[in-house]
Structure 1
Amino acid sequence: MTTFKEQLQKDIDVFMNLDEFAETHTVNGKECTAILEGLTTKEQFIQLRESKINFDGISGETFILHVAVSALDEVPKEGLAIEVDGETYVVSSSATEIGMATITMERDVVP
């Protein structure tokens, strides 16, 4: 009989399956299996509407990274920089739950 922790690891392995949802990404110089998603149009609109600071000519991008905690050297905390696939972002929030890290990150984009 498998233990609860063993079953959780199997579930993470299914979610992080390269044939299904996940892709290989480089996170802070380390190659790992992760899911990188952008915000939907609705989420972008809500974020823009709730933003307290608005600068002409500067826009931002927000991405959410789902990765197994075991794949990272450490889970970055809010306000720290994170590099994903050669692009640098600032962590706006991070949470870990049942062996998975969910990291929301942003960067400014100047057209």
Structure 2
Amino acid sequence: MTFKELVQQDTKEIFLNFDEFGETHLVDGEEKVIIIDTNELVEREKRRDISMAGVFKKRLLFYIQAEDLGGMPKIGGVMLLDRKSYVVTDAINEDGIYSISLEAAKA
């Protein structure tokens, strides 16, 4: 087995495994195993200007197996997570795992 094949196997069997780290959530109306990562979100937000007077923005970052979602979400597009509507602010393919940042504005 190549290193890349081992990484993909570990992704499915460990990282995004429901019994290990993964959690079931509704993604665009379908149950999917994902990981919501609040620690990485905090690190990424440190590098962005997130201040807007009078507006609170709820942000989420999650990981999902690329094959479970299908195509890469479009930045600026709308995605439903647990029946709540969010705007996709970033989407990265990290070797078969999508890292997706979402934002919902609330006044």
Smaller-chain TM-score range? 0.7 to 0.9
Q: Which residue of 2 aligns with 1:33?
A: 33
Task: Report the TM-score, using the length of structure 2 for normalisation.
Answer: 0.81
Report the alpha carbon displacement of residue 39 of structure 1 after superposing the two structures with TM.
5.6
- State the percentage of identical aligned residues: 30
The answer for the alignment partner of 2:5 in structure 1 is 6
Query: Where does residue 80 of structure 2 map in the other structure?
Result: 83
- Structure 1: how far apart are the matches of 2:44 and 2:98? 22
**Structure 1 ranges of 4+ moved more than 3 A:** 3-6, 38-47
Is contact 1:38–1:62 with CA below 8 Å preserved after alignment? Answer: no
Report SS of the residue matched to 1:77: coil
8 Å CA contact retained: 1:39, 1:63: no
Q: Aligned-pair RMSD on alpha carbons? A: 2.6
The TM-score, its normalising length taken from structure 1, stands at 0.79
| Residue segments in structure 2 that go unaligned for 5+ positions in a row | none
Find the residue that maps to 2:37 and give its secondary structure. strand
CA deviation digits over 1:56-104, x for unaligned, max 9? 2x31111001000010132212111111110110011100021100001
Aligned-partner Cα distance in 1 for 2:35–2:2? 26
Letter in 1 for 2:20: E
**CA-to-aligned-CA distance 1:15-35 (integer Å, 9 cap, x gap):** 012122210111112211100
Name the count of aligned residue pairs.
Answer: 106
The 3-state SS of whatever aligns with 1:50 is coil
> Partner of 1:51 in structure 2?
50
Extract unaligned runs of 5+ from structure 1.
none
